[in-house]
Structure 1
């Protein structure tokens, strides 16, 4: 019975739904693989003649472009899905717009705090931040871009009144949580190595002065 009800809410025969889900999974997989290759082998930095910042900006532009494509594919998928009357109300629509606004606030404010290189994996290029950012939105969540993006997906689903969008939002959250399990420890290791090197350097200088 449950599967019959789900099939009435979501049209799984629409290829646009599967393409959207694949795009959502592809993006973080792509940037994690590329960023780790950069960290270990300096692939992009070598491609840009040893200019790590230029290489990072290139990756940032690529990730941003892929994000636009992902969002367009998601919108296309929603248009091909059935509307549910319980979602097709003014209250749900307003709530959806509220989620979109809040989600974009988290994404934009985190980008403002981190800058381009801080947002788009600059630490994998050796472009490290001096200190941990603790102001808004990082005092609300440790992954504002991921959670903000998830909120925007859900907001769009409610604005379009499509249950399929809620299902895809669950997929978005799952993919991002998996990505965080790989990204957070790796990034923490990069900064731990930097801090250890700094401490060793201070200790060495201290010995020289003695």
Structure 2
């Protein structure tokens, strides 16, 4: 008996919907990181749309739309998967709703704190925030949207009672952890560059005053 066959009572790997869901989950953060980095280096979206603000809103619409497609494929995949009795009943159901509630709180509150441009890669489009956001939920985690989304995936898996949902949630977490490793240093570099430019500008002003 092969590895896949031994787990078909938990996860049906023969379902194409499972593969589509897994591909969409991996594709989304990969795609927006590639596009955002190209925008930062070449400003191709800013040039096309006429401003960094418009480029950022294009990214926001694109990322949000891709997220809706991803969630649709995930739900469709779960419906085609076998359920398990350990994931059915009152406790898993309440746990599922609790995870969904907490996950949405993290996502919504972080969006509220950052705004549209802060949430959807505005700093890659030249729209930088004045200060680092340290209030809730950023006082809990530096990636509340990613962890909140992961909690929502797990909550949905429990509500459906599907082991496949737990497996997909593990992929979601892995993909986001990898994305964080690439995004955080790059974003930090953007703001470090701004501070260097500010320091140089301040130094020039001091020299000009001395000359006067």
Specify the TM-score bucket, using the shorter chain as the normaliser: over 0.9
- Distance in 2 separating the partners of 1:43 and 1:70: 26
- Distance in 1 separating the partners of 2:45 and 2:207: 38
- After TM superposition, the structure 1 = structure 2 runs for residues 1-210 of structure 1, keeping only pairs within 5 Å, are 3=3, 4-49=5-50, 51-210=51-210
- Distance in 1 separating the partners of 2:6 and 2:187: 43
Deviation at 1:84, TM superposition (A): 0.1
The alpha-carbon distance between structure 1 residues 96 and 5, as it changes in their structure 2 partners (threshold 3 A), is farther
Aligned residues: 209
Consecutive unaligned residues of structure 2, counting only runs of 5 or more, are none
The residue matched to 1:8 in structure 2 has which SS? coil
- Distance in 2 separating the partners of 1:56 and 1:5: 47
Give TM-score scaled by structure 1 length. 0.97
Deviation at 1:203, TM superposition (A): 1.4
- Distance in 1 separating the partners of 2:116 and 2:7: 41
Deviation at 1:2, TM superposition (A): 9.7
The residue matched to 2:100 in structure 1 has which SS? helix
Deviation at 1:44, TM superposition (A): 0.6
Deviation at 1:207, TM superposition (A): 1.5
- Distance in 1 separating the partners of 2:162 and 2:11: 8
- Distance in 2 separating the partners of 1:96 and 1:175: 21
- Distance in 2 separating the partners of 1:2 and 1:209: 77
Superposed CA offset, 1:63-94 (max 9, x none): 00100110010000000000000101111011
- Distance in 2 separating the partners of 1:5 and 1:162: 17
Deviation at 1:7, TM superposition (A): 2.3
The residue matched to 2:86 in structure 1 has which SS? coil
RMSD, aligned CA? 1.1
- Distance in 2 separating the partners of 1:138 and 1:197: 27
Give TM-score scaled by structure 2 length. 0.96
- Distance in 1 separating the partners of 2:153 and 2:7: 19
Consecutive unaligned residues of structure 1, counting only runs of 5 or more, are none
- Distance in 2 separating the partners of 1:145 and 1:116: 13
